[in-house]
Amino acid sequence: MSSQARIRLASTSLLVGFFIAWELICVIFQIRDIVLPRPSQVLMTLWTEAPGIWPHAFQTIYTTMVGFGIGIVAGVLLGVLIGSSKIAYDVAYPLLIGFASIPKVAVVPLLVLWCGAGTAPAIITAAITCLFPIVVNVATGLATTEPELEDVMKTLRATKTDILLNVGLPRAMPYFFASLKVAVTLAFVGTVISETVASNRGIGNLMMIASSRYDVPLVFAGLLILAVMGVALYAAFSIVELRVTGWTRRQDHLSMG
Amino acid sequence: MTAIPRANTFVELQGASVTYGRGERAVTALAPTDLRMEKGDFVALVGPSGCGKSTILKMVSGLLKASSGWVFVAGREVGAEPVRVGMAFQNPTMLPWMRVRDNVLLPLKIVPPFRGEFRAKRNTEFRDRADDLLNQVGLKGFADKYPWELSGGMLQRASLCRALIHDPELLMLDEPFGALDQFTREELWAIMQDLWIARRPTVLLVTHDLKEASYLANRILVMKARPGHVVEDCAVDFPRPRTIDMTYSPDFVALTQRLRELIVSVRPKAEPAA
């Protein structure tokens, strides 16, 4: 365990070192605030502007979580649908990849056209951005169930639903939770993109306005908030993943492979 | 013409064959085969790889449809019959997210009439039933472990428990002892025999091991490949319970020797490697 502690220490000092180096470079080369503000300035801005920033931060996290929630529900349903049969998987996969590879920024104007500016397009953008990794992972988890495991269930005259609930879904759980970590950060990206393009609230909007006023420290304050929220959500879902799918980490010597 | 299953027969194949593919590329895995098994019988299928042993097993358990002919179980066409089937493979296929006991209990969660009572009895009657069975195969105290905490032999014991927990009328064993060391294997033979004597399910065992077939089975079917078919039906009438010492007796050795000669002589001529 001491090696793990050492890694944690190294990773923390890298983080702290990064900000110290940033600060020093700004001071030594006398970089102007409008180009690159010092971290200390960013923190100061964060502190003094907090009452103004807070509602925006709340808006962004709210939009992200709602969009993420919708993305999970839709993603699991689609994933189960596609992963439950080999044929559905093969037929739907090309279409899925096609949709997944459309840059979600390009969809925002369309969403604004349909639902107007504001929270609604942001929620939808968040949902569709995080949808695909969930669909693909759940479908893959289901589609790669060991045939012998299914044979055992079939000889017991298990129904499709029995197999899905007892074998398929539990087996897809590690894939699902691995996708959640990625999906939640993607939902963030979706929200901020939409807020930047068409909203009068949220961190994305705050950064747009700040940059139009050349308030670069405030832009960086926004970035910092996004980074912290993103890391926090990633960490939260990593912990959930560890709790729920701990069994995957200890079965590497198992014959099931 | 509709085939009629014979009375007093639990499992019956009437001209059942299996062909994969179509036209010129069609491969006959099993030529039309007749087979009868009495209720409570213990039949072993032996033969070289690709002789259709597992194909018969899959047809009888309903995993594979016969391309032609009929497969009857308990007097009805397979699949329609309300027969309880247990199955164990060479690979123990435990679900890694469940404790051993819950793995063993899985069939009770699925198979009627147990599935209706599963919620009510899983922590009382069914739990004791699983623990009793685990004790019988020498896994006392391992019920609360996870599969990754057990060795291959222990997993295979648990897999046997899972195949037997719902008191199956038909037990399908597809080389379940194949991946084990000799001592574990012999111990599991003895356990298997005890369980069979106590519960008398109808067993179909697929194996490569002639000693295993002779020790466990009442009847041994020797099969030949390309296309797969049965060439010999040997009765094994050593008294029960059989012991490992018996396997060194002259009669026993003569039997395995005869089986071996049959298989070697029926093996197709070696073809040049592709």
Please state the domain extents for chain A.
1-31, 34-249
Q: How big is chain A by its Cα radius of gyration, in Å?
A: 22
Residue A245: its chain B contacts at CB < 8 A?
97
Q: Tally Cβ neighbours within 10 Å of residue A180.
A: 26
Token readout for A197 is 């393009």
Interface ipTM: 0.77
What architecture is the A34-249 domain classified under in CATH? Orthogonal Bundle (1.10)
* Cβ within 8 Å, pair A247-B96: yes
Q: Give burial (CB, 10 Å; 0-12/13-18/19+) of B226.
A: middle
Closest residue of chain A to B99, computed from CA coordinates: A247
Nearest CB to A156 within list B93, B111, B155: B111
Token readout for A69 is 């929630």
Residue A154: its chain B contacts at CB < 8 A?
62-63
User: In this complex, is the C-beta atom of A166 within 8 Å of any C-beta atom belonging to chain B?
Assistant: yes
Nearest CB to A162 within list B92, B96, B110: B110
pLDDT tens-place string over residues B177-228? 888 888 888 988 998 999 899 889 999 999 988 999 999 999 999 988 878 8
pLDDT bin (cut points 50, 70, 90) of residue B269 is low
Euclidean distance between CA atoms A154 and B182, whole angstroms: 31
Euclidean distance between CA atoms B235 and B213, whole angstroms: 11
Q: Would the pTM of this model clear 0.80, i.e. be above it? A: no
Residue of A82, A191, A96, A208 lying closest to A138 (CA atoms): A82
Closest residue of chain B to A249, computed from CA coordinates: B148
A216-241 burial, b at 16+ Cβ within 10 Å, e below that, comes to bbbbbbbeebbeebbeebbeebeeeb
Euclidean distance between CA atoms A12 and A6, whole angstroms: 10
User: In this complex, is the C-beta atom of B167 within 8 Å of any C-beta atom belonging to chain A?
Assistant: no
- pLDDT of residue A232 exceeding 60: yes
DSSP secondary structure code for residue A167 in this structure: I
Euclidean distance between CA atoms B13 and B3, whole angstroms: 10
Query: In chain B, pLDDT over 90 holds for what percent of residues?
Result: 20
Query: In chain A, pLDDT over 70 holds for what percent of residues?
Result: 95
User: In this complex, is the C-beta atom of A170 within 8 Å of any C-beta atom belonging to chain B?
Assistant: yes
Please state the domain extents for chain B.
94-168
Token readout for A25 is 């470079």
Give how far B232 is from chain A: nearest CA, Å: 28
Token readout for B262 is 């049959």
* Cβ within 8 Å, pair B93-A162: no
pLDDT bin (cut points 50, 70, 90) of residue B73 is confident
User: In this complex, is the C-beta atom of A157 within 8 Å of any C-beta atom belonging to chain B?
Assistant: yes
Give how far A121 is from chain B: nearest CA, Å: 39
DSSP secondary structure code for residue A150 in this structure: H
Closest residue of chain A to B173, computed from CA coordinates: A152
User: In this complex, is the C-beta atom of B62 within 8 Å of any C-beta atom belonging to chain A?
Assistant: yes
pLDDT bin (cut points 50, 70, 90) of residue A250 is low
User: In this complex, is the C-beta atom of A242 within 8 Å of any C-beta atom belonging to chain B?
Assistant: no
Q: Which strands, in side-by-side order, build the sheet including B11-20?
A: B27-37, B11-20, B68-73, B76-77
Closest residue of chain B to A247, computed from CA coordinates: B97
Instruction: Quote the pLDDT of residue A255.
Output: 36
Instruction: Quote the pLDDT of residue A199.
Output: 79
- pLDDT of residue B267 exceeding 60: no
- Residues whose CB falls within 8 Å of the CB of residue B99, separated by 6 or more in sequence, listed in order: B143, B144, B145, B146
